[in-house]
Structure 1
Amino acid sequence: MTIKEAQLRVDQWINTTGVRYFNELTNTAMLMEEVGEVARIMARKYGEQSFKKSDEQVDLADELADVLFVVVCLANQTGIDLTDALEKNFAKKAIRDGERHKNNEKLK
């Protein structure tokens, strides 16, 4: 699925099953909640924290998809074409970071 297709599918889902978009502030709060769930998994799976019994069935892929879904919602409701935005972001990074990471001793 392309990013554009994802934006269309989310919009279709919101307008049928979801009834309507939550407002931008609510979706921003939901994004923070979803990112927190990703952080919780990362801290336990790759960090020093241990899983509680109730956390053992968590699914990182599903939580990352939740983050992506809310990001797409925010893009849709604010009129952002994520394909275009990502292309521009790559161009910015190519200029800004073209040599920076290659010359970073910490990355060698």
Structure 2
Amino acid sequence: MESPSLRDLQDRVDAYISQFEEGYFDPPTLVIRLCEELGELAREVSHRFGPKKKKPGEAEGDLELEIGDLLFILVCLSNSQGYDMADIFRRTMEKYETRDKDRWTRKVPQP
């Protein structure tokens, strides 16, 4: 199965949100939700890789779903503002590829 494009993600989220009278939350609410979801991701990362392990009997979280929740909120924010995520990603990569092109040690190509 082919992976969806960013446009596909935006269209699918828009179709989902468009079913509801309330529509998209306003930007401050979306950013608050983004922070909440980031906290959930941070907690899961801390439990898996950090010093604070889960309590005995505490259910294992799903790191992928926590990342997905962040993506969903970012798509909602982008859609609500009429932004194209593919364009955002392209511009962001150009920034990193220019600004940080010599910042890190490059791997030596294997023969």
Tell me the TM-score normalised to structure 2 length.
0.85
- In the alignment, which residue of structure 2 is the partner of 1:63? 66
RMSD: 1.7
Q: Deviations over 1:27-77 (max 9, x none)?
A: 110000000000000011000101135642311111110000000000001
- In the alignment, which residue of structure 1 is the partner of 2:16? 13
Cα separation, 2, equivalents of 1:13 and 1:43: 32
State the AA in 1 paired with 2:14. Answer: D
State the AA in 1 paired with 2:94. Answer: A
Tell me the TM-score normalised to structure 1 length.
0.87
**Structure 2: 5+ residue runs without aligned partners?**
107-111
- Higher helix fraction (1 or 2): 1
State the AA in 2 paired with 1:48. Answer: P
State the AA in 2 paired with 1:40. Answer: R
- In the alignment, which residue of structure 1 is the partner of 2:109? none
State the aligned residue count: 103
Taking the TM superposition and a 5 Å limit, the aligned residue runs for 1:54-93 are 55-93=58-96
The alignment status of 1:4 with 2:7, answered yes or no, reads yes
- 1:101: how far off? 1.1
**Structure 1: 5+ residue runs without aligned partners?**
104-108
- In the alignment, which residue of structure 2 is the partner of 1:41? 44
- In the alignment, which residue of structure 1 is the partner of 2:29? 26
Q: Deviations over 1:55-103 (max 9, x none)?
A: 4231111111000000000000111111011011111111111111128
Percent identity, please: 33
Cα separation, 2, equivalents of 1:18 and 1:35: 27
